[in-house]
Structure 1
Amino acid sequence: MKHINLSAMGRQGGASALVILIMVLFFGSLLTLLIKVGPAYMDDYTIQEALQSLDGTEGLSQMGPAQILTLINKRLSVNSIRGFDTKNISVEKDGEIVVIAVDYEVRNNIFRNIDTVVHFQHSYEMRGK
């Protein structure tokens, strides 16, 4: 009959309390960062979709910059983007082509004096129908 050495099994142990505490702190920090920064990326994605949907809009190339900004503001309002300032959008016309540039940053407080700054910059060239 074979003899199984159980002495090696007796020396094995699980994670210590210190390792578990470090893992909880690490994953808790990642989760906090995701909760704080994630909505900024989701809002940016919604802003991109709203601006890209302008391409091919009826009469876009005949509109002035103020009219285009009003149209963008309506689309952002429909998509529940309320904290975005339209001063971050510049509209330029080059003949039939409308160039829309977006440049803004979002600041979030993580903990006490630790903040995140997320910078977004997009540019779109569009033609109206």
Structure 2
Amino acid sequence: MKKNSLSTMNRQAGASALTIMVMVLFFGSLLTLVIKLGPAYLDDITIQEALESLEGTEGLSNMGPAQVRTLINKRLSVNNVRGFEAKNITVEKNGELVVINVDYEVRNNIFRNVDTVVHFQHKYEMKGK
């Protein structure tokens, strides 16, 4: 004899309260990480674009390290990058070539005593016109 399919449907109940709570905690934690770490990565992308836009700048090869650093700081302030410090930029001259090293870290508090540290390091070699 064939079993009635209604008896199996009566046993299906869906997700339990514990499963839903675990899912909410997981996705809430993931959303918190995105909200806390996202701005650091967006600022880093802006810093990279500002440094890459220096390629071909008029008189870049003739500028001193302090002048290049000032030029970079002006571009970053226009792009609203505030937490970045000029001491994280090292500028070296190698003949016509200008070597720019950027090495910095961003610390964010997630909650209470749980922090994140994101480290960024970039190196650019470029010439001016």
| Partner residue in 2 for 1:78 | 78
Cα distance in 1 for residues equivalent to 2:18 and 2:83: 42
Cα distance in 1 for residues equivalent to 2:45 and 2:102: 12
Gaps of 5+ in 2: none
Gaps of 5+ in 1: none
Task: Provide the secondary structure at the position in 2 that maps to 1:66.
Answer: helix
| Partner residue in 2 for 1:19 | 19
Matches within 5 A, 1:48-67: 48-67=48-67
Per-residue CA deviations over 1:37-60 (Å, capped at 9, x if unaligned) read 110000000000000000000000
Cα distance in 2 for residues equivalent to 1:42 and 1:8: 51
Aligned-pair CA distance for 1:13: 1.1
The TM-score with structure 1 as length reference comes to 0.97
Aligned-pair CA distance for 1:95: 0.2
Alignment size in residue pairs: 128
Q: Percent identity among equivalent residues?
A: 77
Superposed CA RMSD in Å reads 1.0
Matches within 5 A, 1:90-129: 90-129=90-129
Task: Provide the secondary structure at the position in 1 that maps to 2:110.
Answer: strand
* Residue type at the aligned position of 2:56: G
Per-residue CA deviations over 1:52-100 (Å, capped at 9, x if unaligned) read 0000000000000011011001000000011110100000000000000
Task: Provide the secondary structure at the position in 1 that maps to 2:93.
Answer: strand
Aligned-pair CA distance for 1:3: 7.0
Report the more deviating stretch, 28-37 or 2-11.
Answer: 2-11
Q: Which runs of 4+ in 1 moved over 2 A?
A: 2-5
* Residue type at the aligned position of 1:104: Y
